[in-house]
Amino acid sequence: MEPENVFEIRLPASTRIVQIRLLRSGRSTRMTLRIKADGSVSAVVPAGMRGNVLEQARLFALKHLDWIDRQLAKFEASPAARTTETLLEYLQKNPDIFAGEHPLRTEISTNAVRPFYVFRPQENVLPIYIREASADADLQQLLTSLAKEILPVQVRELAARYGVSVGSISIRNQQSRWGSCTTHGDLSLNWRLVLLPPAMRDHVLLHELAHRRHMNHSDDFWDLLCAWDPQAVKHDAELRKHWSKVFYFR
């Protein structure tokens, strides 16, 4: 259930559900929308506004979906949203890779002659060998290769479970999305999905698979996704928290 001063909207042009907090201001004479420094969205209303203020703010936000989408895109592309960590530094702090339902603890060595990893799904350790002079490039290359091994298998398992078909599955280095689905059922997935916990990874995969039934973000689409993923709203909010952590490495 939403808090009484918070409501949610769905942005039709992206994959997200946005939470908007209602703020009352004694200085405001009209309703406005604000994107705060941390990327959160607020609807500011005059302190003396009467009636169902939350519903009025929701309707106001729905009239300005394109503006909200553009402003969030600008924020996520700005230096303020970008992490200052390298990929190597991130993995040293967050060593788990999610190849399946259970994490694999990465063990990174930087004295390799060539980059490679040892993937044994039955074990809980993933040795990764990279060159110190090209650490981040090697890590991205290896994690992309790992994603190509595991993500297509996971997609096809989910597709079979929910009775949808898929075409080709490619793994890429998208800079603005977790994945996409064409009208022919071809999926393009971001290699960074291996950095996400299983529940959030599956949420993204199910989002793309739901497009096999609805090639839009209509209410029917969201109803289907929420049927497949009852915690879709929670997972979507968690994805936003991970966005800058894993999308923008220095």
Domain coverage including residue 20: 6-81
Q: How many Cβ atoms are within 10 Å of 244's Cβ, its own excluded?
A: 16
* Per-residue confidence (pLDDT) for residue 130, from 0 to 100: 94
Residue 60 covered by a domain? yes
pLDDT-flagged residues of the chain (< 70): 1-4, 13-16, 37-38, 77-84, 176, 244, 247-250
Indicate if 101 and 214 belong to the same structural domain: yes
- Indicate whether 119 and 232 sit together in one domain: yes
> What pLDDT is stored for residue 4 in this prediction?
55
Note whether 215 and 96 are same-domain residues: yes
How many domains does the chain divide into? 2
Entry pTM? 0.69
Retrieve residue 220's tokens: 């029917």
In terms of domains, do 60 and 96 share one? no
3-state helix, strand, coil split of the chain in percent (to 5) is 45, 25, 35
